[in-house]
């Protein structure tokens, strides 16, 4: 279980973009990252039914409490490029008991500067909306 999380985190190490956090309140926080799926090992992608490809990206989100325990959440979101072309983010839940995280695939067209708009509801906290931007490339 934790092995898969470690593999996902290890997949992120070569990236210049690292995981970032957004506070939800009362010690809860959202941890997020976005990366190209070519950084996933084929067996991890197959395990969760994810498509790997040079033109595919993945958003990874988790909600944790002040003791770093995972919290269930409801997420929605979209990603848009500089031309305002939008894609919905359809999150899948990965619940390993001692870890819960949410993954949403999206397409990448060449080199793109992408804007992500995410809404999170978790742990009895009010809905939190946050945005982040990231440049991604076809790998």
| Residue 80 domain-assigned (yes or no) | yes
Give the model's pLDDT for residue 22: 93
pLDDT digits (tens, 9 = 90+) for 41-58: 999 899 999 999 999 999
| CB atoms near residue 84 (< 10 Å) | 7
What is the count of structural domains for the chain? 1
Query: What is the H or E stretch that residue 20 is in?
Result: strand 20-25
Residue 66's SS3 state is coil
pTM given for the model: 0.84
pLDDT digits (tens, 9 = 90+) for 73-86: 999 999 999 999 99
- The CATH number covering residue 33 comes to 2.60.40.3340
| Residue 135 domain-assigned (yes or no) | no
Q: How many CA atoms lie within 13 A of 28 on its CB side?
A: 18
Enclosing domain of residue 8: 2-128
Q: pLDDT below 70 — which residues of the chain?
A: 1-18
| 65 Cα distance to chain centroid | 17
């Amino acid at each position: 279980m934790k092995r898969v999380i470690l593999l996902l985190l290890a997949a992120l190490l070569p990236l210049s973009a690292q995981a970032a956090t957004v506070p939800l309140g009362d010690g809860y926080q959202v941890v997020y990252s976005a990366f190209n799926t070519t950084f996933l090992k084929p067996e991890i992608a197959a395990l969760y039914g994810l498509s790997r490809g040079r033109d595919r990206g993945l958003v990874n989100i988790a909600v944790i409490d002040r003791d770093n325990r995972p919290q269930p959440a409801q997420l929605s979101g979209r990603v848009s490029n500089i031309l305002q072309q939008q894609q919905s983010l359809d999150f899948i839940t990965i619940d390993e008991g001692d870890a819960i995280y949410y993954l949403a695939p999206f397409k990448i067209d060449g080199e793109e500067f992408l804007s992500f708009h995410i809404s999170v509801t978790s742990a009895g906290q009010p809905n939190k909306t946050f945005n982040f931007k990231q440049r991604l490339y076809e790998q």
